[in-house]
Structure formats: structure tokens, C-alpha cells
Structure 1
Amino acid sequence: MTNRDLLIRNAVVHTVDAQDSVHSSILIRAGRIAAVGNEAEVQAVAAPGTDVYNAGGKTIVPGFIDAHNHMSVAAFEPLAVDCSTPPLASMDEVLGAIEAHCRNLPAGQWVRGIGFHASQIKERRNPTRYELDEVAPNNPFFLLESNCHAGYANSLALAAVGIDACTPDPWGGHIERDGNGTPSGTLLETAANLLHSASWEAYAESDWDRAVGLLEAKAREYLAVGITGVGDACVTTRAAELYRRADAASKLPLTLQQLHGGDHFFSQQDLRRTDIVDRIHSSESRMLRGGTMKIFVDRAYPDGPGLHQIHDGCTKHVGSNFYNPREVHDLALQATDLGINLAIHGMGNCAVDAVSDAYESVRKRTGDDAILRLEHAFIAEVSQAPRLAKLGIDLVANPGLAYKDGLFFGSWRGENQKHLRILPLRSMIDAGVRVSFASDHPCGTFSPLEIMWSAVTRRHYTGALIDPEEAVTPAEALRAYTINPAHASGRGTEEGSLEVGKRANLLVLDQNLLTIPPDELRSVIVERTYVDGLVAHQRQTTQPVTAGALPS
């Protein structure tokens, strides 16, 4: 790698600027874009001795920005048991994977499982504590559900965090119990917080250097699929410590925005705590950003997100919320008064309304400058889109989850609810909402091209189509992974498009994702990833970084 100027020629450069300009050459100088245009125009700006790379007609786009990702959770996947369903298809297969992993581990060592969802195995149920006791008899074991909204623990894990028959349900959560009041091992929402934190901290705090190495390795995986910026969508107190350590050690090879939570994953936000406010406002570096707070409005369990269904002409509320609309409103205004940006999780149409009401009051107080983010909108109404657009709310959506969880979202929506759509992205874009795509990884794939494919095809892994009328175009999908999330992350003037003065975060793709058949989007390969003008990932079959130089 070098800090020398680099001219990339013979390319198809999609700038994703306001005009969606397309050029053939681009010049990088001191980590920023110095010129974009045809080869003669760009070469006229280049200095003698500038390195030249002939792209051979390949496509260049801005680096992808995954604005809603749980990187601090996903980083520890190599230490966990892969219980992903699919490919695991039965309870026996899931339990077998856990037993094989735990068989030779030291007694007492925490173990976490990942990727499980009961809707995708033939028994359609969760494991009990006693089944987990049998396959992990010597280790506290916690199986984190694929959507992170529930978890399943064995007896050693429950005992380690003090959950027993006398433990009350916490705010925003539920401890499932048998007929005798004994916890079954199933923990919903905030009831899983202690297990989530204990297993995460056992991995991280036992060896911070290893933890930083795992975080960097995860970032390298992201770079390999073209991600140059990430927003961690729930940074706990200890996760913030991990990021600080990684940044201080220069082990963050991509931009990381922290959406701060509390001490635990689903903590109730308390802005009276000066340590939380100070953490949100902590100083930024070139690669590590803060300033934003995450609020969870509605829950996945026990009965789905906050929804307003219509039955016989009457509106009926179903699902569960963490906060009522007044609490969301007051918390949003408190954060705004403290100079804190907001990213509010709302999955159902009831939650979308609560977020919109809160943001309307924020706009009246602050004007148009504040960045106001709505995360998810898994099940929303087309009629809600114009209000989001009018209020300038950025929707950060996760269309990749339609591939794995689209039918599950359909079960939440219910029968004959024609006013509700699953991920109504077409309707949002048509109404003028600025829509960003994001992975929500590890809840789903982190590959932007896979997720763009999902947004364009709306296909479930079974072959079913998920509200196909809400499909977007490849060009819209590209904006939703580049300039739009840059704006939603507060970096729209810094990256997200290939314009003079912006950071040279860009990709070389083997195919033009805007001209190939849409169904082939997920076959596009990232040949190179540049961060600040330097090669951060290079496919091993490609040519060396420098293919020549201008005459000196």
C-alpha cells in the first residue's frame, strides 16, 4: 500500500452524486478524491509519477455503508456455536452441534450459540434448559436467537446470573416458567440481558487483545464484501470499551459509528445518568464516531411488534412495546435537548406512528438540521410514508431479512391486513423518504450485494415472494447502500458518493450492477475495496495494485 496519487482509468465510475453521473476515470490524492471525469480530464489534473491502474472496464462505486449492524456482537461468532437454521433443520441437529462444541471445553467456561430460530426447524419450538443441560453439562450456555430478541439458557447459565423461581420479570421482558414457577430457560427481550452481557463479557474481558483481534477480523470480512463504514446499532458500556481499545490500537480499518445503548443490549434508556450521556458525547476520531443514541420502541416477543390491525372496520392494537408513545416522545426531546442524535427502532406500524409523533416535536424544537432515524419498519402502512418524508425522517431498513424472516414477519402481520406491508420500501421511496439499507447482522447476511438482491427480487429462501410490489430498482438499491446511509450517519458531506473532496472510499466490482439482470446482483464480486485511497481488500486473483505510472 502507498500514499502516492492513484489514477484509475478505463472504468465505469458510478459517482452516485445528485445527477447519478457516470465517468471513466478517477484520481485519488492524499486519501481523497481529487478528480472525476473522462481520462483526459483526470489525467490533466494528475501529477507526473502518479500511479495508474487500468480497471479493464470494471465498475467503480462508492464503498457500501452498513448503517445498522451489530458488529460488537458478530465479532465473537468464531468463538460461538453455529446453530444456524437453516442449514440445521431439527432440534436434534441443533443440540448435536452444541454438544460437539462443548464436549472438550474447560468446565465453567461460558459458551454462546448463535443463529437459531424456532420457526425454521421442524419441531417449531425452543430448546429447554434441561435439553441444554444434557448437551452442555459443564458450561454455562446461552443460545442467542437469530434476531437477538430472545435467548435460551441452561441451568448453569441461569444460576450464574441469579435467575431462579423467585426472580421477577424485568421491565420490558419475560422469564418463561413451567407450572411450578421454575424458569424454563427461555428468556424474552430484557429478561435475556444478563445472559447476553455475561456471555459477551466472558469472551471479551478474558482477553481484550484477542477481542480486539476478533473485531478487526470481522471488519476485514466486511471489507471483503465492500463495506467501508458500519453503524453498530446498540453499543453497550462494555462494547464501547472494546471500540475504544480497537481504535487506540489502529485496529479499526473502516469507519464505525456507535449508536449507544445502556449497560445491556435492551437496557431502558436513562438520560439522568451522566456516564451514559458522556459516553454518547465522547470524543470522535477519524474512524470511530459517536453522538447518537439508540431507543427500542417495540418488542418481537411475546406476541410480535407494536401493530394496529383492522378487524371488522375497528382498529385493534396487538403486540408489545417497550415504551408507550408519550415515553418515546419525552425521551426523544430529552435527548435532543442534550444534543444527542437519535436512531429509534420501530418494527410495527404502531411503533412507526410513535416515532413519527416524537420526531414531529423534535423538528418543531430544532428545525430541519437534526438527523432523525427510524430503524426497520418491518410492518408498516403505505399511508405512513408521506409523513416520514415531510418530517425528513431517514428510514434505515433491512430488506435482506425478507430472505430469511419474510414469512415470519407475515405471521406477525396477521390475516387480511391489507393496510400493512412487509418492508414497504417502494412506497417509502415513491413518497420521498430517504431510505438506507442495512444488514442488522448477525440477524441476517452482511453482504450488501445479497441484500440489494433481496430488495430487488423480494424473494424468501423457500421461493415465496414477500410483497413483491414493494421491490426497488438496482439504482435505488445502490443509493440505499451508499449516499443515503452516509447522510443517515451524519457523513453525507464526507463519503457515500464519488465527488471531489470526499474520502476515497470506493469499490472495484467485476460487473456493472446497474446493467446486469437484477437476479444476478448477488453474483457480483468485489475485486477491490479502498478506504481513504488505500487498498483495504483485494481479491487474490486480481492484478497488483499499481499497473503503471504517468511519466515523470
Structure 2
Amino acid sequence: MLDWRLEISKRRNKSGGFLLIFLFHSALLFAQPADLVFRNDKAVTVDTTVLLKPVADLILQNGKVITIDTALQQAEAVAVLGNKIVYVGTNKEVEQWVGPKTEVVDLLGKLLLPGFNDAHCHLLNGGFQLIRVNLLGVKTLKEIQEKVGEAVSHAPKGAWVQGRGWDQTLFNNGEWPTKEMLDAAAPNTPVYLRRVDGHSSWVNSAALKQAKITKETPDPAGGEIVRDKSGNPTGILKENATELVTRVIPKPSPAELRQAIEKGLEEARGFGVTSLQEESEGTYPGAISVYKELLNEGRLTARISTWIPLDSARYPEQLAKLREFFPADASILKLGLLKGYVDGSMGSRTALLFQPYSDDSTTNGIAQYTQKELGRLVFTADSMGFQIDMHAIGDSGNFVALLAYSQAILQNQPRERRHRIEHVQLVRPADIPAFKELGIIASMQPTHCTSDMRWAEARAGKERCKGAYAWRSFLNAGVSLAFGTDWVVEPLNPMGGLYAAVTRQDLETGQPEGGWFPEQRLTMEEAVRAYTLGSAYADFREKELGSITVGKLADLVVLDKDIFSIPPREVLTTSVVMTVMDGKVVYRKK
């Protein structure tokens, strides 16, 4: 059992005695008679006669506590004082931490885990999706048109209708949609809809007109305006071509940013997600200021590690001053890393492959940078001491990222970098050892595997897919894994990711039997570790987060089922009973 009460430092004073210095985490109780504590409407006698006895603010007991701590893997009870875990152990011993004002929660045998840490999400985009046109999972053009038409009917004159989540692979014919399909629902109102992966957009004629995109408009570097046989824009914009439209859409106001953030935080605490690593500031300038407002008001119910664009390394002087905009206490809101993009996505056929796509021999993807340009940005950011994360999905894209990292590491001074590659969806098996050698973290999203496996072999072929979503291969090679969802691309609920990691089966159908490339499956323990301690390590926070350990911050989640013992399909219906962040209960299931 691990117990923290007080530290006694014995120092011999001038008279030869010992000076006892008691160091406490919070206010201490002086001698009092026994008090009555009401627990579940029953009075319990608590002995408070011990001089200078610290007591807990919150106790969770009578549960199955999986700590993700190798020193004590399972316990029955946890005590919290302030925002720290002060005791992990038995139901009997935790009673010593009960005081007159302690909230005691009987877990009734339920599972207690460290709070989930989503290593990659888009909180603001997710919040906006919840209040805009949400197309996630929509399978018919008719339903999309109905949703867009409804939004148009409520839109103020001159306003844009925006949404996200469409996926042409869910349509019956699997073909890319066109501007005419949107024109039928919105002939005059400009409409902008991001694809589920965020790497392509679908717009109507009114949007093309406002953006002044015509037959003569050239493709921008790193992007494509999809055209018909006559050369006219179809309404699909890939990668950087999307910016031709987004630059003319009015930016959201601080009030709109706040609404989206609060909506996203509500979603997170209901799923037991207590830490979010996300890139709002790169997409929505001004987001950091809103986060700081919420922090000062005590309304930031998840820890935010916000990312900024790798392109910021083009301006080293301004980049060096960026840390000044963040609170000195970075326990809840902190500057995370610099995020860059090497390629696009498999779904949009913009991920970089060494060989052309199996279902489209005319392309092998779209590079976001030249190798020289990428190398220069990575070198500059690395030399300034920043952690770097590069989005890379294709096998060539991952190799390009590894090459840029290796060059910077060789040229700059030694240090603990923990650079990352985001997604790592398709990798040549021969390149996996390089992740370990360079200390690169594989930050992956398990539900990308189960969403993409429907068409992955058609895109890349079976042989290349042997290196797809290769979680087991990475772990066996000693590579650090961090898990997240990439919300808004996938739902924020960690249960989907855990199920995907241990089964590699479709969340709806449970197919294929045995899983897709089942040799890459993980155990539930490994998956939970990647979603907690692994994600904390990827954010340089493993000493304060990621496990239920005495002295760490009290971020906890209670589940209504034991995901370690139930059949995998039941994991998908497991829900959160309680979420604790920074020692405070931020969610209780009604």
C-alpha cells in the first residue's frame, strides 16, 4: 500500500536535539472530539483526536482500481487531497483519511481508472460540429441535403452554412459529390462542408463564387481544385486548396469560440477524458485567450495542451516569445508542441505513398512541403527546444518525416526531444525500428483502423496493408505508443478506440471474424496504458498524470463495467459514471 501523510525531516539543532519539520499538502486538523460523518444518509463515527492529522477531500472506495502503475497494479480505494492523490490501497486503510467534510463515494465494485488523455483531438472543431451541420456517419445524399437545407432556412442573410463529417465511401456508389448536389439545397447561400478527415472540402456554387474560384484558377502548392472533364471546378477542394475558401469565410467571434469550447468540454467530461492535446490556435487564432478566460473562471474541466503550426518556425523571434502568452502554472493549460503536415489522408487519396494508389494509378498523394523546406522548419524548431509532431499517414510520408527528424537530431545538440509522428497509418515494416532509434513516439488513433479497413486494401493493396495501423509491431520494437481519437474525425468516446485496439473489428458489425490483420491487436491493458500513461508521456507529463499513483494529479474516471473482463462487444456500451479532474468531480451520470 502506498500512503502519504507527512514528511518528517530530522535535523540536529544546536542543542543536539532533533527539529521535526512537518510538510503537509494542505490545511491540517487539530485535536477534536470524535465527529459524525454522514455517508449515504448514515452517521459514521470518525476519530479526529490525532494531533495534526491531514484528511482527504474525496475518497473513492470499494472499487476495482486499476492504477496503470507497475508498483501497485490494483487496489480498492483512492484518497484525494486538494488536486493530488494522497493514498492508494485498501478499503480498511483509506478510512484513516476520512474527516468531517470528506466526500466518500462507494464505487459498488465499479472500475476506477486514470482519466483518459486524448493524445490528438480537435476540441474546437468538435465543439463546432456539435452546433453546426453534423454529417458524421450520414450515408445518403438526401440526408445531407435535408440537413443543409434546414441550416439554410435558419441562417441569417449573408451568413455561411458550415459543417463537417461527410464521407463519400459511405455513399452507395462511393463517388465524390459535386457542387450541383449542394446547389439543390442551397442555391444562394454559400455552403462549406469539411470531409470527415479534414483533408478535403465540398462547397456549392455560391461558395466558389465568393472565393472567386473559376476554371482559370490554378491549383495552389500542396492542394488540388478537382475539376470535371471541361476543367470546371466540381466543388471538391483537396488539402491546401481548401484555404481558397476558408480565407473568405468570416472568422468566429470570441463568443462563438467560447460556445464551441464549452460544448467540447461537456462532451469530454461525459466520456471521462480529462486531458486533451489539440491544435485550436493553428485553426482558430484567439483560442488561447478564450482558454485562459475559462481557466480563470474555473470552467476549464479538462487539461489542455494546445499545439501551434510548424510554420511558426519561419518566424523564430515571434516563436520564442510565444510561451509568454501561457499561464506560469501549466498544470491545466500549457503550450504543447509544433504540429506540421507531411501529407494528407488515405480517404482523400492525398497520403503520400512510395507507389501509386492501387485504385488510382494516376496519383501517389500530395506532399505538403518539399523535403528541403520541411527539413529547414524541423531543424529550426528543434534547435529552439520545441517538441515537434508531424502528421504522416502514407508509407512515403512517414519515411519523409523520419528523415527530417534524423537530420535535425544529428545536427542539433543532444536533449530529450520526444518528437512524434501523428497517425502512422501505413508504414513499411523495415522503417519501424527507426522510430525506436530516433526516440519518435507513434501517436495513433485505433478507430482510424476500423473505419478505414473497409477500403484500405483497395487503396493500398494487401501487401502494403501488412504495415497498416501496426500497433503490435511498434510495441514489440520498443516504440512508445500514445492513443487518441482525432475527434472530430472520429467520435471522442475512448470506448470505441479501446474496442478497436483489442479486436480490429468494425464497431457496428463486429467483422471481420478474428479481426483485420489480427496479429496487430493489443491487450486491453496495453490499450488503456496507451490511452493514459502513454499519452501523458507523449506530452512530457508522465510524472504527474497517466496513472493512479500517490503524488500525481487526481484525474480519474469511473466506468459502469469492467472492460478488462467483459466480452469486447460490451466495451462499446460501457459508459462513464463519474469523472474527476484536478481533484474535483466534473461529471456524474444522471
**What range describes the TM-score normalised by the shorter chain of this pair?**
0.7 to 0.9
CA contact (8 A) 1:282 1:291 kept: no
* AA aligned opposite 2:418: I
Q: CA deviation at 1:363?
A: 3.7
Farther off after superposition, 405-414 or 114-123: 405-414
Distance apart, 1:308 and its partner CA: 2.7
SS of the counterpart of 1:407?
Answer: coil
Q: Which of 362, 370, 382 pairs up with 1:336?
A: 382
**Which AA in structure 2 matches 1:245?**
V
| Aligned-partner Cα distance in 2 for 1:112–1:452 | 31
Instruction: Please state if 1:386 is matched with 2:429.
Output: no
Match of 2:162, SS?
strand
Conserved 8 A contact 2:124-2:260: no
1:144 paired residue among 189, 194, 211: 194
**1:258 aligned partner, one-letter code:** T
| Residue pair 1:66, 1:227 contacting (<8 A) in 2 also | yes
Q: Where does structure 2 lack aligned partners over 5 or more consecutive residues?
A: 1-54
Measure, in 2, the Cα distance between the counterparts of 1:485 and 1:151.
30
AA paired with 2:326? Answer: S
Amino acid at match of 1:349: D
Tell me the residue number matched to 1:67.
119
| Structure 1 residues 18-45: Cα deviation after superposition (integer angstroms, max 9, x where no partner) | 3461111111001110111123433335
Q: Bigger shift: 403-412 or 216-225?
A: 403-412
| Paired position in structure 1 for 2:176 | 126
Residue 254 of structure 1: aligned partner: 302
- Hey, what does 1:172 align to over in structure 2? 222
Please state how far the C-alpha of 1:327 moved relative to its aligned partner. Answer: 3.3
Give 3-state SS (helix, strand or coil) of 2:59's partner.
Answer: strand
How big is the shift at 1:379? Answer: 1.1
- AA of the residue aligned to 2:493: S
- State how far apart, in whole Å, the 2-side matches of 1:351 and 1:519 are: 34
Name the residue aligned to 1:214: 260
Q: Is the 8 A contact 2:498 2:527 kept in 1?
A: yes
Which moves more between the two structures, 499-508 or 92-101?
92-101
Check conservation: 1:113, 1:143, Cα contact below 8 A.
yes
Instruction: Specify the alignment match of 2:3 in structure 1.
Output: none
Which whole-Å CA distance do the structure 1 matches of 2:480 and 2:224 have between them?
A: 36
Equivalent residue in structure 2 for 1:33, among 75, 85, 96? 85
Residue from 459, 463, 468 that aligns with 1:422: 468
Match in the other structure for 2:416: 369
For structure 1, which segment, 347-356 or 27-36, has the greater mean C-alpha deviation from structure 2 after superposition?
Answer: 347-356
Q: What is the alpha-carbon root mean square deviation over aligned residues?
A: 2.6
What CA distance in whole angstroms lies between the structure 2 residues aligned with 1:274 and 1:111?
Answer: 38
CA contact (8 A) 1:216 1:253 kept: no
Whether 2:442 is the aligned partner of 1:395: answer yes
**Distance in 2 between the 1:42 and 1:381 partners?**
50
Aligned 8 A contact 2:123 2:280 in 1? no
1:283 lines up with 2:283 in the alignment:
no
Q: Which residue of 1 aligns with 2:484?
A: 438
Q: TM-score, normalised by structure 2?
A: 0.82
Q: Please, which of 145, 152, 163 is the counterpart of residue 102 of structure 1?
A: 152
Decide which of 331, 345, 355 is 1:300's aligned counterpart.
345
How far, CA to CA, are the matches of 1:344 and 1:477 in structure 2? 22
Q: Alignment partner of 2:541: what SS?
A: coil
Determine what percentage of the aligned residue pairs are the same residue: 27
Q: 1:332 to 1:281 in 2, by over 3 A?
A: farther
Question: Does the 8 Å contact 2:208/2:214 carry over to 1?
Answer: yes
SS of 2:396 mapped into structure 1: helix
Select the residue among 537, 542, 545 that pairs with 1:495: 545
> Is contact 2:352-2:394 (8 Å) kept?
yes
Question: 1:528/1:303 Cα in 2 relative to 1: closer, same or farther (>3 Å)?
Answer: closer
CA contact (8 A) 1:108 1:138 kept: no
Deviation at 1:455, TM superposition (A): 0.9
Q: Which runs of 5+ in 1 are unaligned?
A: 263-267, 541-552
Question: Does 2:393 correspond to 1:347?
Answer: yes
Counterparts of 2:588 and 2:146, CA distance in 1? 37
Cα deviation code 1:160-191 (max 9, x no counterpart): 23323332211210112234443221110010
In the other structure, the counterpart of 2:61 is 9
Shift in CA distance, 296/20, structure 1 to aligned 2, threshold 3 Å: farther
Equivalent residues of 1:126, 1:152 under 8 A apart: no
Counterpart mapping for 1:468-483 below 5 A: 468-483=518-533
SS state of the match for residue 400, structure 1? helix
**Distance in 2 (alpha carbons) for counterparts of 1:373 and 1:176:** 32
**Are 1:93 and 2:143 matched, yes or no?**
yes
Question: Partners in 1 of 2:280 and 2:453 — Cα distance?
Answer: 23
Greater Cα shift, 45-54 or 440-449: 45-54
| Cα distance in 2, alignment partners of residues 408 and 261 from structure 1 | 31
Alpha-carbon separation, structure 2, partners of 1:232 and 1:197: 22
How far is 1:121 from its partner? Answer: 0.1
Task: Check conservation: 1:422, 1:466, Cα contact below 8 A.
Answer: no
Amino acid at match of 1:409: A
- Are the structure 2 counterparts of residues 338 and 140 from structure 1 closer, same or farther at C-alpha, using a change threshold of 3 Å? same
* Aligned-partner SS, 1:214: helix
Amino acid at match of 1:293: L
CA contact (8 A) 1:144 1:150 kept: yes
- For residues 385-424 of structure 1, what are the alpha-carbon distances to aligned partners after superposition, in whole Å with 9 as ceiling and x for unaligned? 2221232211110111223222233333225436x42200
The counterpart of 1:452, out of the listed 498, 515, 534, is 498
Q: Would the aligned equivalents of 2:282 and 2:307 in 1 still touch at CA under 8 Å?
A: no
CA contact (8 A) 1:232 1:257 kept: yes
Per mean C-alpha deviation after superposition, the further-off stretch among 25-34 and 382-391 is: 382-391
Is 1:357 the counterpart of 2:403? The answer is: yes
In the alignment, is residue 405 of structure 1 matched against residue 452 of structure 2?
A: yes
Asked if the contact 2:313/2:381 (under 8 Å) is kept, the reply is no
In 1, Cα distance between equivalents of 2:86 and 2:435: 36
Aligned to 2:581: 531
139-148 or 386-395, which deviates more: 386-395
The letter for the 1-side match of 2:205 is S
Aligned to 2:238: 188
1:476: how far off? Answer: 0.5
Tell me if the contact between 1:11 and 1:24 (Cα under 8 Å) persists in the aligned partners: yes
Structure 1 residues 437 and 196, CA gap change in structure 2 (3 angstroms): farther
Counterpart position of 2:568: 518
